[in-house]
Amino acid sequence: MGGGRLTVDLSGPPYEIGLKHGQVLASQILSQLHIYRGIFADTCKYKWPQVLGIAEEFRATIRRLAPDLLEEMRGIADGVGRSDVGLLDIVALNARSEIALGKWDDGCTALAWRLGASGKQLLAQNWDWRVSVGDNLALMSIRRIGRPTIWMVTEPGIVGKIGFNSSSVGVCLNAIRARPISTDLLPIHLLLRTALECESVDSAIATFEKLGGAASSQHILIADANGARGLELSPRGGVYLREDEDGLIVHTNHFLANKLVDEPPWLSGSPFRLEKARALCGSIVEEVGLVGLGDFVGAALLRSRVFANTENSPQAICCSPDPARGPLAKIETLFNIVMSFEDGKVPKAEVVFGRPGSGAETRVYNMPW
């Protein structure tokens, strides 16, 4: 896991945002396309022309529901500056969760925590995915006139990921393996970007509902300065989770309440991680009490006390590669992010790349920068 991270600042109308994205991150985007060609072939037995065929269906949907984002993707493709990289290749990256038809095997642990009566809202997760993707990850800001400024950690070529905006709206993502998918709805990474262009949790939920929901089953953990919701989304409808009595929402890689889709068991470690994260947060509440949480709980504490936990390895909260799996399928925690929102204060986040607590993780990167 490389130590230095690319920080990319984008601004302007959609095409210009995409053009600079493609120009600055061209080599990383080419790497991502190479990685995903291999993953699609290995996991789904799809050759790239099949992938582009599904991407074409999504292109038509994106043009109808989010034309600005399609224009941004067109800019990304042009910015890469290669005759063998076109718009559909970039659409395929942005719809990669859907094209795989629920066959991904990534795990992530996310939590939102309203810290007692302090007024502080934390939103955090470990993002686990293929080791090969780790060195390509970039920190990105996006500024458009009339919209909140966005700061996020993203895979190059993808227009929306995990992060927050200047209105203190933040998003985390948990993958869910379930059928069906629908190419008539927006891919989950575009919904993440859509949420980051909203000014509250409520407006993001209203926007998702207006758009018809998600193209695949996924969980978006969303928060603003006033609280959080766990959005268990699917093409057949969504269920929205609220905080428990400790102010917590914890989520891993299985639905807790959404019974609208066919969700076979897949990641055996998902229930363990869910209960472990809840227990670790519960022990902090026991230690300091609900009233004292605001002064006690921050990014460093969550990294050390929750997100560095390696019990049930390799399928731990802090995930490590399974030695029994081939090199293409090696998965580990690629970054940890802890966001903090509070009325009247500038939203902020700390990001660490690599496995928190391992000794091999990077320094802390602060957002905004």
Residue 275 in this model has a pLDDT that exceeds 90:
yes
Cα end-to-end distance, the chain, whole Å: 21
- Give mean pLDDT, residues 224-238: 97
Please state the φ and ψ torsions of residue 206, each to the nearest 5 degrees: -60, -40
Note the pLDDT tens digit of each residue in 72-113: 999 999 999 999 999 999 999 999 999 876 565 567 999 999
Band of residue 179 on the pLDDT scale cut at 50, 70, 90: confident
Domain boundaries, the chain: 7-99, 108-367
| pLDDT score for 51 | 96
Determine the topology of domain 7-99 in CATH: Penicillin Amidohydrolase; domain 1 (1.10.439)
Question: With pLDDT > 90 as the criterion, what percentage of the chain qualifies?
Answer: 87
- Give mean pLDDT, residues 212-223: 96
Strand ordering across the sheet containing 150-154 = 7-11, 138-143, 150-154, 162-165, 170-175, 218-224, 227-233, 239-241
CA distances from 280 to 207, 303, 319 (A): 34, 11, 16
| pLDDT score for 178 | 87
CATH of 108-367, one of 3.40.50.720, 3.20.20.60, 3.90.1150.10, 3.60.60.10: 3.60.60.10
Band of residue 328 on the pLDDT scale cut at 50, 70, 90: low
Residue 189 in this model has a pLDDT that exceeds 60:
yes
Note the pLDDT tens digit of each residue in 21-67: 999 999 999 999 999 999 898 878 899 999 999 999 999 999 999 99
How high does pLDDT run on average in the chain? 94
Note the pLDDT tens digit of each residue in 146-157: 999 999 999 999
CA distances from 99 to 103, 231, 306, 314 (A): 9, 21, 32, 26
